[in-house]
Amino acid sequence: MPERSPDPARRSERSRTAILSATRKLSAELGYQAMSIEAIAAAAGVGKQTIYRWWPSKGVLMLDMWGEQVQLQGEFPDTGDVAADLKVQIRGLVELANDPELGPSLRSLIGAAQHEPALLEELLTSIVRPRIEACKRRLRKAQEDGQINRGVDLDIAVDLLYGGFYHRLVLPVTRLDDAFVNGIVDEALRGIGATL
């Protein structure tokens, strides 16, 4: 690709990528609240108007950046082995949390959402609820396959599996590591009736 492409679509895509990447870097460095659209524009080498053309607010930009990370993780795996699938999925989250840029950015986003109701609602709608639903679909399949109890409340199952991640993320008393991933999935699944 030439340095200055004459193709506007390609130039747009380059700007978009630069803006999302600057958002990821600055949100980790400064935190969501201290990060300004001006700073993102400067770091991405674009004008503020370019950002506002695509994103109405800093919150929506931040959520789009996270949306891309979540997309990179792909669909909830289904190999038939529910324990292995959950470990892959939760290990992916743990890797995000331990990434030196993405981890602080995720904590900062969840932190800011506690003071900004509109940001929280958008975070729940665009990222959290769809992921919880994907997990529940996988667990429902495991119920059909006779791998976990049919009677179990799947919201409780999601809390058993994912609650520890958020607990350790926002109140980091104990580490998010591989032993955590294996331990939490094994004990949670035993709780909801899996024979491991």
Q: Which residues contribute to the site for a second copy (CB under 8 A)?
A: 31-34, 107-108, 110-115, 120, 123-124, 128-129, 132, 152-153, 155-160, 162-168, 170-174, 179-180, 183-184, 187-193
Cβ neighbours for 154, distance < 8 A, ≥ 6 positions apart: 136, 139, 140
C-alpha–C-alpha distance, residues 14 and 156, integer Å:
43
Name the minimum Å distance from CB 4 to a second copy. 39
Name the minimum Å distance from CB 54 to a second copy. 26
Q: Which is nearer to a second copy, 4 or 115 (CB)?
A: 115
Q: Which is nearer to a second copy, 22 or 188 (CB)?
A: 188
C-alpha–C-alpha distance, residues 79 and 3, integer Å:
43
Q: Which is nearer to a second copy, 52 or 166 (CB)?
A: 166
Q: Contact, 155 vs 97, CB < 8 A?
A: no
Name the minimum Å distance from CB 121 to a second copy. 10
Name the minimum Å distance from CB 174 to a second copy. 5
List the one residue out of 59, 23, 53, 25 whose CA is nearest residue 40.
23
Q: Contact, 163 vs 51, CB < 8 A?
A: no
C-alpha–C-alpha distance, residues 148 and 82, integer Å:
9
Q: Which is nearer to a second copy, 45 or 172 (CB)?
A: 172
Q: Which is nearer to a second copy, 46 or 164 (CB)?
A: 164
Q: Half-sphere exposure of 84 toward its Cβ, with a 13 Å CA cutoff?
A: 5
As to burial, measured by CB atoms within 10 angstroms (0-12 exposed, 13-18 middle, 19+ buried), residue 70 is middle
Name the minimum Å distance from CB 65 to a second copy. 17
